[in-house]
Amino acid sequence: MPPDRRPIAQLYIWAAESPLNRFPPPVFSPVPNSLAENFAIRAIEAQPLDYARAVFDDTWRVFAWKRHVFPNAQTYDEYVFGYKGTPIPSWDRAHLGKYDSFAAAYVHGNPNTQVVDPFARIIRGYQRYVWLPGTVYGLILLAGLGGIVLAWRRIGGEALLPWTISFALIVIPAATATFDYRYVLAATPFACLAAAIAFSPGTAGDRLVRELAARAHKVPAPPRLRRRARPKDAGTGVLAVACATLHPWSTAEPALN
């Protein structure tokens, strides 16, 4: 099948026609897990460069200014506040005692969401006008990394842990399944925390910011000549004063006789 006609990566796990779903539930039992793991390892070993390119491309999607419908419209719409609740997908259907889906068994009841106005209308307006561009998230991540590099003597300091968590939340999904915007939602607070810690008072980042601010506010002024009262008989001192006034930036004080 041509690459442009192949299903998205996650359908190999979730689609009803996936070979992994030929086994009795639950879906993630030891047998299908081991088969999926074996298949993934052999695919990566056979095409390591293609795998690295796929991971890079999916990770890079995070930093785009605008969000795009990915990996498909059905998945994308699940994270957008709409006008009606999203029904339980067919791949989640199962016969689990009194529950007819994994979602119902998870919540021990009805998993369907309800849209309630006027609150839903407010949330829809919020998501339309208030959002964090991926590029801004990338700048926050980069700021935290800069503070970590400045604190290299302390192995990055306290900012290293939240920064690593944020970066892992966008790379690991791309490396194990596929990119999804829901992971960026969880990664953003950790990136902000890392940037705040990296430039908090007493850190190497804070010292750099203070130094740059001091340089920006320090404007060198031209030195002024201190004038003295000219005596009646200035003699050669008149020539010295005249020469000094031709060089207003000179710091040398003319000698007066």
Closest CA to 64 of 140, 134, 137, 142: 134
Measure the CA–CA gap between 183 and 137, rounded to whole angstroms: 12
Q: What is the pLDDT along the chain (257 residues), one digit of tens a residue?
A: 677 777 777 777 777 777 877 877 667 788 888 888 898 899 899 999 999 998 999 899 999 998 888 777 777 887 888 888 878 877 677 778 888 888 888 888 888 888 888 899 999 999 888 889 999 999 999 999 999 998 888 888 888 999 999 999 999 988 988 888 889 999 999 999 999 999 988 888 878 888 888 888 775 545 554 545 444 444 434 323 333 333 433 334 434 33
Measure the CA–CA gap between 94 and 221, rounded to whole angstroms: 79
Cβ-based neighbours of 122, under 8 Å, separated by 6 or more? none
* Identity of the residue numbered 22: R
Measure the CA–CA gap between 207 and 195, rounded to whole angstroms: 14
* Residue 220, both tokens: 């060198």
Cβ-based neighbours of 67, under 8 Å, separated by 6 or more? 131, 134, 181
Measure the CA–CA gap between 109 and 113, rounded to whole angstroms: 12
Measure the CA–CA gap between 34 and 132, rounded to whole angstroms: 38
Sign of the dihedral defined by the CA atoms of residues 23, 25, 31, 33, in that order: positive
